[in-house]
Amino acid sequence: MDLDTYGRWAKRITDWTVGYLTNLRDRPVRAQSQPGDILRQLPASPPEDAETMERIFADFEAIVPDGMTHWQHPRFFAYFPANVAPASMLAEQLTAAMGAQCMLWQTSPAATEMETRMVDWMRQALGLPGGFRGVIQDSASSATLAAILTMRERALGWSGNTDGLSGQPRLRIYASAQAHSSIDKAIRIAGIGQDNLLKIATDANDSMRPEALGAAIAADRAAGYLPAGVVLCVGGTSVGASDPIAAILAIAAAEGLYSHVDAAWAGSAMICPELREIWAGIEAADSIVFNPHKWLGAQFDCSIQFLADPGPQVRTLGLRPDYLETPGLDDGGAEGLVNYSEWTVPLGRRFRALKLWFLIRAYGLEGLRTRIRNHITWAREAEAAMAALPGFQIVTPCRFSLFTFCYKGEPETRDLLDRINADGRTYLTQTVHDGRFVIRFQVGQFDCSREDVMTAVAVMAELTR
Span 144-167, pLDDT tens digits: 999 999 999 999 999 999 999 988
Say yes or no to pLDDT of 256 above 90: yes
CB 143 within 8 A of CB 289: yes
pLDDT computed for residue 329 by the predictor: 65
CB 41 within 8 A of CB 63: yes
Say yes or no to pLDDT of 138 above 90: yes
Whole-number Å distance between alpha carbons of 164 and 68: 43
Whole-number Å distance between alpha carbons of 195 and 396: 29
Average pLDDT for 100-124: 92
pLDDT computed for residue 331 by the predictor: 60
DSSP summary character for residue 197: E
Q: Find residue 199's DSSP bridge partners.
A: 175
pLDDT computed for residue 334 by the predictor: 67
Question: Nearest Cα to 423, choosing from 24, 28, 78?
Answer: 28
Per-residue pLDDT reduced to its tens digit, 380-396: 999 999 999 999 999 99
CB 396 within 8 A of CB 433: yes
Instruction: Quote the Cα angle for 52-24-31, to 5°.
Output: 75
Strands (E), 104-176: 133-137, 171-176
**Cα 255 to the center of its chain, rounded Å:** 29
pLDDT computed for residue 259 by the predictor: 98
Average pLDDT for 331-337: 67
Whole-number Å distance between alpha carbons of 287 and 230: 10
Say yes or no to pLDDT of 195 above 60: yes
Average pLDDT for 201-211: 95
pLDDT computed for residue 149 by the predictor: 97
Instruction: Quote the Cα angle for 263-179-290, to 5°.
Output: 15
Q: Mean pLDDT across the chain, nearest whole number?
A: 93
pLDDT computed for residue 324 by the predictor: 79
pLDDT computed for residue 398 by the predictor: 97
Average pLDDT for 219-235: 97
pLDDT computed for residue 234 by the predictor: 96
Alpha helices in 202-287 (DSSP H): 210-222, 245-255
pLDDT computed for residue 465 by the predictor: 87
Average pLDDT for 171-199: 94
The burial class, CB within 10 Å (0-12 / 13-18 / 19+), for 435 is: exposed
Whole-number Å distance between alpha carbons of 22 and 80: 22
Average pLDDT for 69-73: 92
Say yes or no to pLDDT of 372 above 70: yes
Say yes or no to pLDDT of 332 above 60: no
Long-range contacts of 198-206, Cβ-Cβ distance < 8 Å, separation of 24 or more = 198/172, 198/173, 198/174, 199/175, 200/174, 200/175, 200/176, 201/177, 202/176, 202/177, 202/178, 202/241, 205/241, 206/177, 206/178, 206/236, 206/239, 206/241, 206/396
pTM of the model: 0.93
Average pLDDT for 173-201: 94
- How many residues in the chain? 465
CB 148 within 8 A of CB 173: yes
Query: Which residue ranges form the domains of the chain, and what is each CATH number?
Result: 100-350 (3.40.640.10)
Residues of the chain with pLDDT > 90, as a percent, come to 88
Average pLDDT for 425-444: 95
Split at pLDDT 50, 70, 90, the class of 330 is low
Say yes or no to pLDDT of 323 above 80: no
pLDDT computed for residue 1 by the predictor: 84
